[in-house]
Amino acid sequence: SQTIHQWPATLVQPVGSPLSLECTVEGTSNPNLYWYRQAAGRGLQLLFYSVGIGQISSEVPQNLSASRPQDRQFILSSKKLLLSDSGFYLCALGLGSSYNEQFFGPGTRLTVL
Amino acid sequence: GQQLNQSPQSMFIQEGEDVSMNCTSSSIFNTWLWYKQEPGEGPVLLIALYKAGELTSNGRLTAQFGITRKDSFLNISASIPSDVGIYFCAGLTDSWGKLQFGAGTQVVVTP
Q: Strand A108-112 relative to strand A10-13: parallel, antiparallel, unpaired?
A: parallel
For residues A90 and B43, what is the distance between their CA atoms, to the nearest angstrom? 9
pLDDT at A44: 92
Q: Which residues in chain B are closer than 8 Å to A49, comparing Cβ atoms? A: 96-98
Distance from CA of B67 to the nearest CA of A (A): 19
pLDDT at A99: 73
Q: Which of A44, A59, A101 sits opposite B45 (nearest CB)?
A: A101
pLDDT at B1: 47
Reported as a single tens digit per residue, the pLDDT across A88-103 is 999 999 987 777 789 9
- My answer on whether omega of the bond before B43 falls inside 30° of 0, hence cis, is no
For the segment A80-86, the average pLDDT, to the nearest whole number, is: 95
For the segment A6-18, the average pLDDT, to the nearest whole number, is: 97
pLDDT at A70: 96
Reported as a single tens digit per residue, the pLDDT across B54-110 is 999 999 999 999 999 999 999 999 999 999 999 999 998 787 888 999 999 999 999
Residue type, B22: N
Reported as a single tens digit per residue, the pLDDT across B2-49 is 579 999 999 999 999 999 999 999 999 999 999 999 999 999 999 999
Reported as a single tens digit per residue, the pLDDT across A26-79 is 998 889 999 999 987 678 999 999 999 999 999 887 889 999 999 999 999 999
Tell me whether residues A32 and B41 touch, CB distance under 8 A: no
Q: Which of B41, B98, B101 sits opposite A43 (nearest CB)?
A: B101
Nearest to A77 by CA among A20, A29, A22: A20
Any CB–CB contact under 8 A between B33 and chain A? yes
- Residue pair B78/B19 in contact (Cβ under 8 Å)? The answer is no
Any CB–CB contact under 8 A between B87 and chain A? no
For residues A51 and B1, what is the distance between their CA atoms, to the nearest angstrom? 23
Nearest to A63 by CA among A79, A49, A75: A79
DSSP, collapsed to helix, strand or coil, labels residue A23 as strand
Distance from CA of B46 to the nearest CA of A (A): 10
